[in-house]
Each structure stands twice: as structure tokens, then as C-alpha cells.
């Protein structure tokens, strides 16, 4: 069987031969394809002054919402994942108009997700496979991802993303306002270390089994200093030393056992978090509730019902919810991944999303809920 394995073919020259390393290593690695360095990408595709101001200002505004210094509701909304940069920009322009109108009540940040964790296998996101055909042109994906972020910022929208690969933030993190560590990685030491060095607030989702403790531990770990393996701006292996990130918080996203967005679940989560976190931390002030995933069974109709339930509770004065997440796109539902020319425009190829019209209505309802809550607090 081994004679058909190119890794075992002595006639094929590999880098191990050139540097005198025995072929005992990399037996299952077909290729090491060099990528541009972070410095090259950032130099060729820099943020302009307006974009830098938007990122810095929106990060401060998100922090203020998380710590209760701003009574607006943080809303992270947008496609489950970006597969079509043109449609993502179309969505960004629509969302920017709503953001301007509702800015007194909602701090809206757009989901611009490029990396998708998979339970087994599947499309891993725009960075990994930008052509959605299994060619995995990561060089192209990195450029497309960064250009998408630049375009979204140019439209006036701050961006949120999930960080999955530990090296990808070097290429895009300067353009991101809010970051997430997903449910599959919330217990990962690598991701906790990564979050400790990120310059924006980061939400740790509860684990897939529903454990809020795992996410709280992530916040605790990420708040501390760490030293770990990474790369520098020139792409060189480096020992990365971080200061710790004090702005980490918990995101409730439901679990394999069911939803956890209800008032009792939120109260229990906050009680658990406050036992472990300092009273003046972002995490101790409240949670962000993800209306998708385990909280709605990834069903867009149910997701809208969850958002409306949260809006009603906020209007009634419920405390401990600092933000809400929604998966939303131009068209509702989803479709199977395929090359772009074969896809329906503005429709997700990962999780099912709420359509734009419904999304706009939900944002209006959330803003009204904040106004109602604010009025009650003034008169109480």
C-alpha cells in the first residue's frame, strides 16, 4: 500500500531532504504552503483613519454596555457565516441604516464570521475554503476575509467574529470590535490564552453540554497573564506574552440538553458567575444570550420567538442580560454549500438565519423594550 503514497516516494524532493531531516516526520502532511505574513497583509490592506476610529470607539461602547455604564443593549447580529462578501456588504449597508436609527437604544455589532468549527466535517468557512469547492485556498481566503472586514467598516458597521484558529487573529483582529470563543473551544487552553491577548471584549459561550462553569473558567483564565507559542507579525514562531483580558464575559447559547435563555436559567447562570468572578468584572454584571443554536434548535422561526421573549422580559425590567445574539441574513433559512454561482443570493450555507424583514422588526422591538425599561427605571 505504501508504494502509492507520495510521502514515501524517495524520488520526490521534499524540504526535509534539503535541510537534512529524516523523513520520519510529516508522514501525513502533503504540503506546507507558505502564506503572506500578517505584516504583509496589514501593510497592503490597512485600516484607514475612519475605520480605526470606528473600531476603537465601538470597542469602548461595547465595554460600557457590558459593565452597565451604558444602558443600551448590545446586539450582535448577522449571518451565521460569511460565504459571499458581496451579500455580506449588502447586509452591512442595510444594518447600518437601522443602527443609525436605533443607536440611542441598541449597540449593534455585525456578525462577520469567517471560521466555522465542525462537529465532524464540513465547510470550515471563508478563510479555509473561499471557493466552497474543497480547494482550500487559504491565501485567497485571508485576503477576502480582511477585505470583507474593511468593506463592513466602510459601511459604518463594527464587526464581531469567532476566533477559531490561533494564528488567524494576527491577520484580522485589528478590525474586530467583539470576539467570541465558541462552545466547542470554551474549555481549550489555547483559546483561553488567545483571548488573554485580544484587544477587544470576548464572549465565552457555555459548553455544548450546557456548562456555564466552563465559560466562567474561560473568563477567569483569559483575564490572567499568559506566555504561549504563537507567531509574530513577520510570521515567525514566537513566545507570546499577554497582559490578560479583563473584558471577557459569558454567552448563554443553550446546549444538547435544551435552551437556557429563560429567566430562571439566566438568573442561575448569573448567580454562578458572580460566585467566581469579581463584582466589578464584565462577566459579573450580566450575560449575553444567543437566541440561536441550542436556544432555538437552530430554527429561525423559533429564534425569532426567543428574541421576542427576551424583549418582553427586558421591557418588564429583568436584569442580568447585557446583550443578545441573532443569526440573520437577507433571506431566511439556509441552503447546502456549493460554489457561489450555484447558490441563492443572501441565504446562509451554515445555520438557518432569520430573514432581513423579520430581523429589522426584531431590532425595533428590542429598542422599544430598552426604552420601556429605561422609562420604568426613571420613574421607580
**Domains located in the chain, CATH noted:** 36-379 (3.20.20.70)
DSSP string, 143-198: HHHHHHHHHHHHTT--EEEE--STTTHHHHGGG-SEEEE-TTTTT-HHHHHHHHH-
Q: Compute the chain's Rg from CA coordinates.
A: 21
Q: Is 72 exposed, middle or buried (0-12, 13-18, 19+ CB in 10 A)?
A: buried
pLDDT tier for residue 118 given thresholds of 50, 70 and 90 = confident
pLDDT score of 284: 97
- Considering Cα of 296, then 298, then 304, then 305, what sign does the dihedral take? negative
pLDDT score of 3: 47
pLDDT score of 2: 43
**CA 166 → CA 33, 173, 355, distances in Å?**
18, 11, 32
Cα angle: 114, vertex 120, 122; to 5 degrees: 45
Residue 55 has pLDDT above 60, yes or no: yes
The pLDDT tens digits of the residues spanning 290-347 come to: 999 999 999 999 999 999 999 999 999 999 999 999 999 999 999 999 999 999 999 9
Please tell me the distance from the alpha carbon of residue 253 to that of residue 266, in angstroms, as a whole number.
11
Judge contact between 111 and 327, C-beta under 8 A. Answer: yes
pLDDT score of 1: 40
Residue 192 has pLDDT above 90, yes or no: yes
pTM over 0.75: yes
Residue 318 DSSP class = -
pLDDT score of 257: 93
Please tell me the distance from the alpha carbon of residue 15 to that of residue 21, in angstroms, as a whole number.
8
* CA nearest to 201, candidates 185, 178, 172: 178
Please tell me the distance from the alpha carbon of residue 146 to that of residue 152, in angstroms, as a whole number.
10
Residue 340 DSSP class = G
Residues near 12 by beta carbon (within 8 Å), at least 6 away in sequence: 6
215 alpha-carbon distance from chain centroid: 15
Please tell me the distance from the alpha carbon of residue 246 to that of residue 175, in angstroms, as a whole number.
20
Amino acid at each position: 500500500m505504501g508504494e502509492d503514497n507520495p510521502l514515501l516516494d524517495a524520488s520526490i524532493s521534499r524540504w526535509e531532504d534539503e535541510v537534512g531531516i529524516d523523513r520520519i516526520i510529516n508522514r501525513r502532511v502533503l504540503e506546507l504552503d507558505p502564506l503572506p505574513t500578517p505584516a504583509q497583509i496589514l501593510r497592503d490592506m490597512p485600516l484607514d483613519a475612519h475605520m480605526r476610529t470606528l473600531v476603537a470607539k465601538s470597542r469602548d461602547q461595547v465595554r460600557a454596555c457590558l459593565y452597565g455604564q451604558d444602558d443600551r443593549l448590545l446586539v450582535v447580529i448577522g449571518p451565521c457565516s460569511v460565504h459571499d462578501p458581496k451579500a455580506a456588504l449588502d447586509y452591512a449597508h442595510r444594518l447600518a441604516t437601522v443602527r443609525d436609527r436605533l443607536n440611542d437604544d441598541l449597540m449593534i455589532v455585525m456578525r462577520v464570521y469567517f471560521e466555522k468549527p465542525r462537529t465532524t466535517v464540513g465547510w470550515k468557512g471563508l478563510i479555509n475554503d473561499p471557493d466552497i469547492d474543497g480547494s482550500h485556498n487559504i491565501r485567497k481566503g485571508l485576503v477576502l476575509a480582511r477585505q470583507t472586514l474593511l468593506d463592513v467598516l466602510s459601511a459604518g458597521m463594527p464587526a464581531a467574529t469567532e476566533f477559531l484558529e490561533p494564528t488567524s487573529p494576527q491577520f484580522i483582529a485589528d478590525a474586530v470590535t467583539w470576539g467570541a470563543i465558541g462552545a466547542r473551544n470554551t474549555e481549550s487552553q489555547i483559546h483561553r490564552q488567545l483571548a488573554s491577548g485580544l484587544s477587544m471584549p470576548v464572549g465565552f459561550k457555555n459548553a455544548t453540554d450546557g456548562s456555564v462553569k466552563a465559560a466562567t473558567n474561560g473568563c477567569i483564565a483569559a483575564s490572567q497573564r499568559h506566555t504561549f507559542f504563537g507567531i509574530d507579525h513577520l510570521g515567525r514562531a514566537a513566545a507570546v506574552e499577554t497582559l490578560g483580558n479583563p473584558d471577557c464575559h459569558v454567552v448563554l447559547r443553550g446546549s444538547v440538553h435544551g435552551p437556557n435563555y429563560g429567566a430562571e436559567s439566566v438568573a442561575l447562570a448569573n448567580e454562578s458567575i458572580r460566585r467566581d468572578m469579581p463584582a466589578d468584572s464584565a462577566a459579573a454584571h450580566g450575560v449575553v444570550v444567543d437566541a440561536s443554536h441550542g436556544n432555538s434548535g437552530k430554527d429561525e422561526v423559533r429564534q425569532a420567538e426567543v428574541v421576542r421573549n427576551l424583549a418582553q422580559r427586558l421591557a418588564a425590567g429583568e436584569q442580568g442580560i447585557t446583550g443578545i445574539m441573532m443569526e440573520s441574513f437577507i433571506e431566511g433559512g439556509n441552503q447546502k454549500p456549493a460554489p457561489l454561482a450555484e447558490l441563492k443570493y443572501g441565504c446562509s450555507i451554515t445555520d438557518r438565519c432569520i430573514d432581513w424583514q423579520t430581523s429589522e422588526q426584531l431590532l425595533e422591538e428590542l429598542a422599544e423594550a430598552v426604552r420601556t425599561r429605561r422609562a420604568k427605571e426613571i420613574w421607580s
